[in-house]
């Protein structure tokens, strides 16, 4: 349980700030495996498998806080549902950098938004720390903790013990592996990419066996030193949307700016869309369109006319990065709200056919059933704000948006309660049915819970709520691995 000292530190940090700030006030505490107490409801009998979540678990050392939310050390939560009981475990990813900083109890490395302490010359040419904090990929024999600027780290599926960096039988140590792989539900093949900066900046594409072993690679040139965080699998295609960001490489290499600060918004370049044949990993077309920024795609598919349809969270510019930097203070002030849009393009002619907003409230973390990846989805789910809430507030709702329509239903949580990205767990025998599982921070009780919803009746509220033994700081992404 939290110590009295950690409670005092949480109170001091959260004073005068939104209630959610208590969730990130102190570093997460490792625990488990431990059986979870059922607070209310009943766990569905057919829900068998494991929820894995990743996110920044440690944002401070000796009173010093990281400079950007993306720089917190990765912590993995596993919640396992079986016939007899539900258990949970939380562990930090034991990267070499984390172990060294843990030993000395101070930050020693540069990160996405962080500069290492000491003389500038010590930072020259040194890559940022791999914090392994963004997402997870559950393979048959291991769990990968993902961070887009480096290699994945393998963990034991049960104990979450870190086994070390994993090259997936084909990843060069100089290449990167993104935090947003896509798995085809029919073939099991896994597609991913890495952004490789250099004289010829390019996307390194990967197609992997369901085991994770890389079987095919290709390089696709980028228009400049930009950042690509996510992509879409859409029928026969992989689609990359390159925002008009340009990285000023020299100050980053000299150690005078972090990667975050070296990224400049240059809207005159426009957004570039690159369509790739997913079998050959060869470019089909690329074209420029209006400028915008996106972190995440909800889904992509080919419609009956052979057009590509993409759902994504759209921002007008890169101010979202500043808001994310300010999150670690517990009091972000920069207005930066994204909304759900749908883009329709002709993959052969490179023509934008439509690009329209689908959901007007500020939202993020779009998810679908993993059984519908790359296909038309029955619904898309987003974590969102209930109204035009203050800039400093976190999301307090989860919405279900139907198919290609704009109709939606929503679950609003009690005041002071904040859900993370909802993960879809498909029903093992019933098509188009399943559950949404999210971790919720209750700032009124200083407690984190696991909450389960029917994906088809979200507005009915949770069908089961379980208490976690420690507060889980707000995280980024997760996945569901069915039992057996």
Residues shown for the chain: 484
With cut-offs at 50, 70 and 90, classify the pLDDT of residue 134. very high
- Please give the average per-residue pLDDT across 238-264, as a whole number: 93
pLDDT value of position 253: 84
CA-nearest of 188, 126, 119, 176 to 151 is 176
Q: pLDDT by residue (tens digit) across 79-103?
A: 999 988 999 999 999 999 999 999 9
394 CB-contact burial (10 Å; exposed 0-12 / middle 13-18 / buried 19+) = buried
Domain definitions of the chain by residue range? 4-378
What mean pLDDT is reported for the chain?
95
- Please give the average per-residue pLDDT across 255-267, as a whole number: 95
Q: Which letter, b or e, does each residue of 175-190 get, where b requires 16 or more Cβ atoms within 10 Å of its Cβ? A: bbbbbbbbbbeeeebb
Specify the pairing of strand 464-467 against strand 37-41. antiparallel
With cut-offs at 50, 70 and 90, classify the pLDDT of residue 2. low
Q: How many whole angstroms separate alpha carbon 347 and alpha carbon 412? A: 38
Alpha helices, H only, 414-454: none
pLDDT value of position 84: 82
Q: pLDDT by residue (tens digit) across 398-431?
A: 999 999 888 999 999 999 999 999 999 999 999 9
Cα-based distances in Å from 99 to 104, 191, 211, 214: 9, 31, 28, 28
Identify the residue whose tokens are 């870190």. 162
222 CB-contact burial (10 Å; exposed 0-12 / middle 13-18 / buried 19+) = buried
Helix/strand/coil for 181: coil
Q: How many whole angstroms separate alpha carbon 255 and alpha carbon 119? A: 9
Q: How many whole angstroms separate alpha carbon 446 and alpha carbon 310? A: 38
Name the token pair of 390. Answer: 């203050």
Instruction: Specify the range with the lowest mean pLDDT, choosing from 10-19, 86-95, 157-166, 421-430.
Output: 10-19
| Contact yes or no for 425/49 (Cβ under 8 A) | yes
pLDDT value of position 8: 78
Q: How many whole angstroms separate alpha carbon 256 and alpha carbon 444? A: 42
Bigger pLDDT: 397 vs 252: 397
Q: pLDDT by residue (tens digit) across 170-224?
A: 999 989 999 999 999 999 999 999 999 888 899 999 999 999 999 999 999 999 9
Q: pLDDT by residue (tens digit) across 305-359?
A: 999 999 999 999 999 999 999 999 999 999 999 999 999 999 999 999 999 999 9
- Please give the average per-residue pLDDT across 460-471, as a whole number: 98
Q: What is the pTM of this model?
A: 0.97
The helix (H) or strand (E) run that includes residue 417 is strand 417-419
Q: How many whole angstroms separate alpha carbon 442 and alpha carbon 415? A: 9
Q: Which CATH class is domain 4-378?
A: mainly beta
Cα-based distances in Å from 283 to 155, 219, 222, 275: 34, 10, 11, 6
Helix/strand/coil for 11: helix
The answer to whether residue 5 scores a pLDDT higher than 80 is: no
Positive or negative: CA dihedral 214, 216, 217, 220: negative
Residue 128, C-beta contacts closer than 8 angstroms, at least 6 positions apart = 109, 110, 111, 112, 114, 149, 258, 259
Q: What is the DSSP string of 277-324?
A: ETTTTEEEEEEEE---B-S-EEEEEE-TTS-EEEEEEEBSSSHHHHHH
pLDDT value of position 475: 97
The answer to whether residue 232 scores a pLDDT higher than 80 is: yes
Residue 4, C-beta contacts closer than 8 angstroms, at least 6 positions apart = none
The DSSP symbol for 66 reads P
With cut-offs at 50, 70 and 90, classify the pLDDT of residue 395. very high
Name the token pair of 409. Answer: 């239903």
pLDDT value of position 242: 98
Residue 304, C-beta contacts closer than 8 angstroms, at least 6 positions apart = none
| Contact yes or no for 219/203 (Cβ under 8 A) | yes
Q: How many whole angstroms separate alpha carbon 153 and alpha carbon 334? A: 33
Q: Is the peptide bond before 291 cis (omega within 30 degrees of 0)?
A: no
N- to C-terminal Cα separation, the chain: 33
The helix (H) or strand (E) run that includes residue 249 is helix 249-254
The answer to whether residue 110 scores a pLDDT higher than 70 is: yes
Identify the residue whose tokens are 């002030």. 333
The answer to whether residue 1 scores a pLDDT higher than 80 is: no
Q: Which residues pair with 220 in a beta bridge?
A: 203
The answer to whether residue 126 scores a pLDDT higher than 90 is: no
């Amino acid at each position: 349980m939290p110590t009295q000292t950690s409670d005092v530190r949480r109170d001091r940090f959260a004073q005068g700030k939104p209630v959610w700030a208590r969730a990130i006030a102190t570093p997460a505490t490792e625990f488990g495996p431990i059986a979870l107490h059922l607070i209310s409801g009943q766990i569905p009998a057919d829900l068998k498998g494991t929820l894995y979540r990743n996110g920044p678990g440690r944002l401070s050392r000796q009173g010093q806080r990281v400079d950007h939310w993306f720089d917190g050390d990765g912590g993995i939560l596993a919640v396992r549902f079986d016939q007899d009981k539900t258990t949970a475990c939380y562990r930090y990813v034991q990267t070499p950098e984390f172990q060294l900083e843990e030993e000395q109890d101070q930050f020693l490395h540069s990160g996405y938004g962080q500069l290492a302490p000491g003389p500038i010359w010590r930072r020259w040419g040194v890559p940022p720390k791999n914090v392994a904090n963004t997402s997870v990929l559950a393979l048959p024999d291991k769990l990968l903790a993902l961070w887009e600027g480096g290699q994945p780290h393998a963990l034991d599926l049960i104990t979450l013990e870190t086994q070390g960096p994993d090259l997936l039988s084909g990843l060069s140590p100089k290449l990167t592996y993104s935090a947003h792989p896509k798995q085809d539900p029919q073939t099991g093949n896994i597609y991913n990419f890495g952004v490789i900066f250099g004289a010829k900046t390019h996307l390194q594409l990967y197609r992997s066996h369901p085991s994770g072993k890389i079987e095919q690679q290709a390089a696709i040139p980028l228009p400049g030193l930009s950042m690509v965080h996510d992509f879409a699998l859409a029928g026969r295609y992989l689609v990359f949307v390159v925002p008009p960001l340009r990285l000023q490489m020299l100050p980053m290499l000299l150690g005078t700016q972090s990667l975050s600060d070296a990224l400049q918004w240059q809207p005159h370049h426009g957004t570039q869309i690159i369509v790739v044949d997913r079998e050959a990993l060869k470019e089909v077309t690329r074209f420029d369109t209006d400028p915008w920024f996106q972190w995440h795609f909800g889904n992509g598919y080919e419609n009956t006319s052979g057009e590509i349809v993409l759902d994504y969270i759209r921002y007008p510019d890169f101010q979202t990065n500043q808001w994310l930097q300010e999150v670690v203070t517990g009091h972000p002030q920069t207005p930066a709200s994204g909304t759900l849009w749908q883009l329709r393009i002709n993959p052969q002619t490179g023509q934008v056919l439509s690009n329209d907003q689908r959901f007007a409230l500020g939202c993020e973390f779009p998810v679908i059933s993993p059984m519908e990846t790359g296909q038309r989805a029955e619904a898309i789910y987003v974590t969102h704000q209930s109204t035009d809430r203050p800039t400093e507030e976190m999301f307090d709702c989860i919405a279900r948006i139907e198919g290609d329509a704009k109709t939606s239903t929503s679950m609003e949580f009690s005041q002071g309660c904040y859900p993370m990205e909802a993960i879809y767990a498909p029903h093992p025998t019933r098509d188009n049915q399943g559950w949404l599982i999210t971790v919720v921070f209750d700032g009124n009780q200083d407690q984190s819970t696991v909450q389960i919803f029917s994906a088809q009746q979200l507005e009915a509220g949770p069908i089961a709520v379980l208490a976690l033994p420690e507060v889980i700081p707000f995280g980024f992404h997760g996945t569901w691995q069915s039992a057996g």
